[in-house]
A and B are shown apart, each in its own frame.
Chain A
Amino acid sequence: MSNASPERDGGARERLQRWLPKLVLSPSCVLVLFFVYGFIAWTSYISFSDSGMMPDYTWVGLHQWSRLWTSWTWGIALHNIWVFGLLYIVSCIVLGLILAILLDQRIRAEGVLRTIYLYPMALSFIVTGTAWQWFLNPGLGLEKTMHDLGWQSFSFNWLIDSNMAIYTVVIAAVWQATGFVMAMFLAGLRGIDGEMIKAAQIDGAPAWKIYARIIIPQLRPVFLSAVVVLAHLAIKSFDLIVAMTGGGPGNATAVPATFMYSYAFSRNEMGIAAASAVFMLAVIAALIIPYLYSELREPRS
């Protein structure tokens, strides 16, 4: 009996040690389960329900989804996100890579320049959107300044032109994210073996060929990361557009996120809004999950 009790004590302590991490983590697990995955499930259900202004749990099957896909505004939103996303990703990568290559030439004020290029990333999209809205507003910003300076024929009214407004959003978004992409490429460039560049010099390759044939092909993982990061930023882009154009003029700059917001909160079509939200989630998941899978699996191999 006497030598059994310390054993039992040790057993209890061991059991506590085994359960303690689980106990500590369980509240946040429950919260995440409820507020993230729970609401994802709820939204998914709403997209199959007859909800309008208020949730209505009557099952209507794919009714809301067919209404979504026949909606003219949703067509514009999808077209816009394609144009915006493609231009945004390509411009950010091209400009970011060029800036990174220029900064990598062992120039003097590199630290200062790097910070300057990175600063826009520190701003929220609301601030970026508002600032660019002022800057591109024909009555306030660039155009008025040019007129005041005496260049009367100057005209730059893309912000209020429904055919061009989406490009102003691209400009603002590119301005914000290019520095970040540049930093990613710069880190990639710094990781390249200097001896390899020396070898290429001895092999007689001119500088542009060293970049095109040897350095840029090695930055493939950076390209992948940049595309994934920028793509999900593009799909989630909401605040920038709200601040800059409010989706207008008309529906000219509507994207899925603003579409979802306006259908849910101003047009009392919660079912369609839920369907569009689930669709966006699916697109982002299709991008992120393979990426995360490949990134997290890598250390083991």
Chain B
Amino acid sequence: MSFLHINNVHKRFGETHVLKGIDIAIEQGDFLVLVGPSGCGKSTLLNMIAGLDSISEGELLLDGRCINDVHPSRRDIAMVFQSYALYPSMTVAGNIGFGLEMRKVPRKQRREAVDRVAKLLQIENLLDRKPGQLSGGQRQRVAMGRALVRDPQLFLFDEPLSNLDAKLRVDMRTEIKQLHQRLGTTIVYVTHDQIEAMTLASRIAVMRGGELQQLGTPQAVYDDPNNLFVAGFMGSPSMNLIKARIVEQGGLPVAQVATDDSTLTLPVVRDRDALRDWCDRDVILGLRPEAITDPASANHGEGNIHEAELPVALVEPTGADLYVVTTLGGTHVNARMRPGTPLRSGERTRFAFDVSRMVVFDPDSEQRIRDERTAETTPLEETA
């Protein structure tokens, strides 16, 4: 029995069907990140777990107990809001202790609990201030303190970092991760930032249009996307999606891609069995920028490298990497090369394709084309 089980949950607001049967199960200590573009229903799902929105259909189980109709205050959860939602008329200590006060915890115990949490979050010197006197990062800490002080079974975070500036956001992200590792709490975290999702999660649920697209570990979602949406949404710069055609060569399927002046043939390594059925049909290839490199930095040990000389359309240095753009299948394709590689647009250079990391999609259904049973089980089946 999993710790939090979201079982075929639907949400309807009148005619609009906001959530269309979400199935997610996580274990105690998991860090689940719900990620997706705005309007995908992730915040609604979080509000339903919190009890702030009703469940139209389906079941919500926390530690084996159905909490569909349990009042938010009796679900043993705590929530951190995007706007922090601190009570402006109370001091920081009052804010953190309010939940305990409402639960009629004696003053002395309350004081001890507040002090303990304040020490954990390093806000001891702020306890007598009002929220209006705090900076964004400090408010964020107080909001987390208010959640932590009650020591609930489940923490809910609703885009908690989106109101912070870029640098503070990275710092707070690290802190949330450390806190999770230290306390071993179970967390459900909503964000639209896929980097936040990748760095924090032990499980990612990618959502779109009220439907779950993929549930799995960050690495599985990144390397083995279920469909074109997940492939394009996760990762920055995003996965290269290249129009190609599968043909048979020597009894094996290969992918043919149009370059500016000729045709590039890439061998197919993954999902070979499934792709046999796709001969002489159009597909979309997915290749991460880091799977297209210069020959020297290619992973010759583990990967399956295929080299080709192609024209350079554009060079984008970022300092850490050099993104080299070429045209494949009519679209710009990002390759990640060593910085300092002397390249200029218009020149030709050798690109190394790690075809062991190549994934293939059906252009019509936008779904992955994959073997029935590969070594990597599909993450959706894993939880079923």
Contact = CB atoms under 8 A, between A and B. Distances in A.
Chains A and B bind each other: yes
A163 to B, nearest CB: 41
Contact of A202 (B78, B82, B88, B90): B78
A259 B342 CA distance: 95
- Most A Cβ at <10 Å: residue of B50, B71, B81, B146: B81
A196 B52 contact: no
Given A193-B83, A204-B99, A205-B98, A199 B89 contact: no
Contacts of B79: 198-199, 202
B384 interface: no
Contacts of A202: 50-52, 72-73, 77-79, 99
Q: At the interface, is chain A mostly helix, strand, loop or mixed?
A: helix
A198 B81 contact: yes
B120 interface: no
A195 interface: yes
A202 B78 CA distance: 7
A217 interface: yes
A44 interface: no
Contacts of A196: 83, 85-87
A172 to B, nearest CB: 35
Given A193-B83, A195-B82, A203 B98 contact: yes
B166 interface: no
B103 interface: yes
B102 interface: yes
Contacts of A199: 79, 81, 85, 87, 146
Interface in A189-222: 193, 195-196, 198-205, 209, 213-214, 217-218
B190 to A, nearest CB: 13
Given A193-B85, A218-B89, A201 B102 contact: no
Interface string B319-352: 0000000000000000000000000000000000
Contacts of A203: 73, 98-99, 102, 146
Contacts of B146: 199, 203
Range for the number of chain A residues in contact with chain B: 10 to 19
Nearest to B53: A198
A209 B102 contact: yes
Contacts of A214: 87, 89
A97 B43 CA distance: 32
A218 B88 contact: yes
Nearest to A205: B102
A214 B51 CA distance: 20
- Most A Cβ at <10 Å: residue of B77, B78, B90, B99: B99
Contacts of A193: 83, 85
A116 B99 CA distance: 39
A169 to B, nearest CB: 36
B99 A195 contact: no
B131 to A, nearest CB: 10
B52 to A, nearest CB: 5
Nearest to B152: A202
Closest 3 CB pairs of A and B: A204-B73, A217-B89, A203-B99
5 contacts: A202-B50, A202-B72, A203-B98, A204-B74, A204-B102
